[in-house]
Amino acid sequence: MVVQIPTNTIETKTQEIAKQLLAATQERKRSFFAQVREQMRWDDKLLDWAMSNPGLRVQLFRFIDSLPALGSNTEIARHLQEYLGEESVELPSALKGMLNFTNADSMPGQIAAKTVSTGVETLAHKYIAGENIKQAIKTIEKLRKDKMAFTLDLLGEAVIAETEAQSYLEGYLNLLEQLTKEAKNWSTVEEIDTADGESLPRVQVSVKLTAFYSQFDPLDPAGSKEKVCDRIRILLRRAQELGAAVHFDMEQYSYKDMTLSIIKELLMEEEFRGRTDIGVTLQGYLRDSLQDLRE
């Protein structure tokens, strides 16, 4: 027995199946490209790698600090190998493979330079307030519109010479001058500018003790404390004159006890004892942070 199916029924069914297949294909393509896009998020990868690898972190941020002065992809590629190609720097396989080029002018070198520099720029836009004070002020003003306070940190290479430590101090003194001058034009935001009926500093900066002395060493606490405190006193005095707050960042664990010791001794000095515009970071995930807080 032969059953004839109307042509229009076959056509309708064919279109339904075709639409289902097309939808499935598009979804599969979308998922595939979404995965590729996720794999190519070099800004996130760089951050993850840096946070889990101290040696890479130091060299990567030294490279980032030099990036604005590099005028071509060839220079970027050359510096990539100089900073990250050292044997002491443990690289993830993906980054190691990318840096495996013999000539900075080569196509692999150009690709590596473009990929990493693009990732760094994207990372900077996400996590860095600006490349200069003008850009940072714009970011701060956006935060204040959302009733959010801020603390500003200067990025740079690890301090390995006393001239760099002095430049670090001078950089913060200049930053305080410019920020507090600009802050005079900001409208008051009650939620972040006042507490218990008193005004709070509108400007706050964060500093690292290790950047105030090139030979900062837990094995030489007395020598390190003397050099560090000489520069910190200058910063704290100027911050008070300008009405700004200073926050001390907590760095790697090996520096924790020495950092807290220096800060506690410094704040017991007569001129700083009554200050309420000085803070310090304690890392909440450490078991001994509660005891540090009590002390």
Q: What percent of the chain has pLDDT over 70?
A: 81
Could you tell me which residue, 128 or 207, shows the higher pLDDT?
207
Q: Are 240 and 282 in contact (CB under 8 A)?
A: no
Cβ count near 257 (within 10 Å): 13
Could you tell me which residue, 131 or 164, shows the higher pLDDT?
164
What domains can you pick out in the chain, each with its CATH number? 42-127 (no CATH), 133-294 (3.20.20.220)
Q: Is 86 exposed, middle or buried (0-12, 13-18, 19+ CB in 10 A)?
A: exposed
| Cα R_g (the chain), whole angstroms | 27
Q: Are 247 and 281 in contact (CB under 8 A)?
A: yes
Tell me: the pLDDT tens digits for 180-197?
Answer: 999 999 999 999 999 988
Tell me: the pLDDT tens digits for 207-251?
Answer: 999 999 999 988 898 999 999 999 999 999 999 999 999 999 988
Nearest-10 crossing angle of helices 162-183, 133-145? 50
pLDDT band at residue 283 under the 50/70/90 scheme? confident
Indicate the DSSP class of residue 104.
Answer: T
Lowest mean pLDDT across 120-124, 136-140, 276-280: 120-124
Tell which phi-psi region holds residue 108, choosing left (phi > 0), alpha (psi between -120 and 50) or beta: alpha
- pLDDT for 93 equals 75
Query: What's the rounded mean pLDDT across residues 144-152?
Result: 93
Q: Please provide the average confidence, as pLDDT, over all residues in the chain.
A: 82
- pLDDT for 39 equals 41
Provide the whole-model pTM. 0.64
Cβ count near 81 (within 10 Å): 16
Residue 62 has pLDDT above 90, yes or no: no
The DSSP string of 175-196 is HHHHHHHHHTTSPP-HHHHEET
Tell me: the pLDDT tens digits for 9-33?
Answer: 666 766 676 666 555 544 444 443 3
Task: Tell me the C-alpha distance between 174 and 160, whole Å.
Answer: 21
CA–CA distances in Å: residue 128 to residues 77, 138, 235 = 23, 12, 23
56 three-class SS: helix
Could you tell me which residue, 132 or 85, shows the higher pLDDT?
132
